[in-house]
Amino acid sequence: MILKSQVEWALHCCAILAGLPDGRYLSTKALAEFHGLPKEYLSKALQSLSQARLVDSTLGPSGGYRLSRPPAEITFLDVVEAVEGKERSFVCNNIRANNPCRPEGYCDAGPCAIARIMWDADEAWRASLRAVTLAMLVQSLEKDVPPALWRESFEWVMKRVG
């Protein structure tokens, strides 16, 4: 059970978009170059973000993507779910229904105990991701990345911004 690499890509891209000046767009090409990723395939991840309304896009030269809301209002969960989907990681196939002792037409009152427990864990995972915003991510990154590299990266992006 491994998350798609597109989740990682989308998060890194969102981190860049969160640092953009208000209203400016950055293209798939620039994002792919900056992260060393295949442009065509990264494009699919960005389209997922777009469909989830996390980013706006424009066409034409100097087109690209920007966040549709302030970074403080976009959570990790938003991004992860945009790419990975909202389905729970545990799927209950209700195999208890195959119990040979069951009377015909027996109907279960609710989800089985195993599913409830697994779904609780899933919700704990989601709650953890919901607690972190892109604004917090940028803060963390700024603390981690040496100031010189931070500045150069910003300038690299600004040269390509629409």
Partner DNA sequence: TCCAATACGGATATCGTTTATCCTTATTGG
Partner DNA sequence: CCAATAAGGATAAACGATATCCGTATTGGA
Residues that bind DNA (CB under 7 A): 1, 4-6, 27-29, 38, 40-41, 43-44, 46-47, 50-51, 57-65
The residues with which 58 forms a beta bridge, in sequence order, are 64
Q: Which does 73 bind (CB under 5 to 8 A by kind): DNA, a second copy, none?
A: none
Binding segment (CB under 8 A) for a second copy, from list 20-28, 45-53, 64-72, 110-118: 110-118
Q: How far apart are CA 123 and CA 146, in angstroms?
A: 35
Q: How far apart are CA 161 and CA 52, in angstroms?
A: 23
Q: Which does 46 bind (CB under 5 to 8 A by kind): DNA, a second copy, none?
A: DNA
Cα dihedral 31, 35, 39, 41 in deg (nearest 10): -110
Q: Contact 141/15 with Cβ under 8 angstroms?
A: yes
Q: Tell which positions 13-42 bind a second copy, by CB under 8 A.
A: 15, 33-37
User: For residue 1, what is the DSSP state?
Assistant: -
Residue 113 to residues 42, 92, 100, Cα–Cα distance (Å): 39, 10, 19
Q: Can you give the binding site for a second copy, defined by CB under 8 A?
A: 1-5, 7-9, 11-12, 15, 33-37, 76, 84, 87, 89-93, 95-103, 106, 109-110, 112-114, 116-118, 120-122, 124-129, 132, 137, 140-141, 144, 149, 152-153, 156
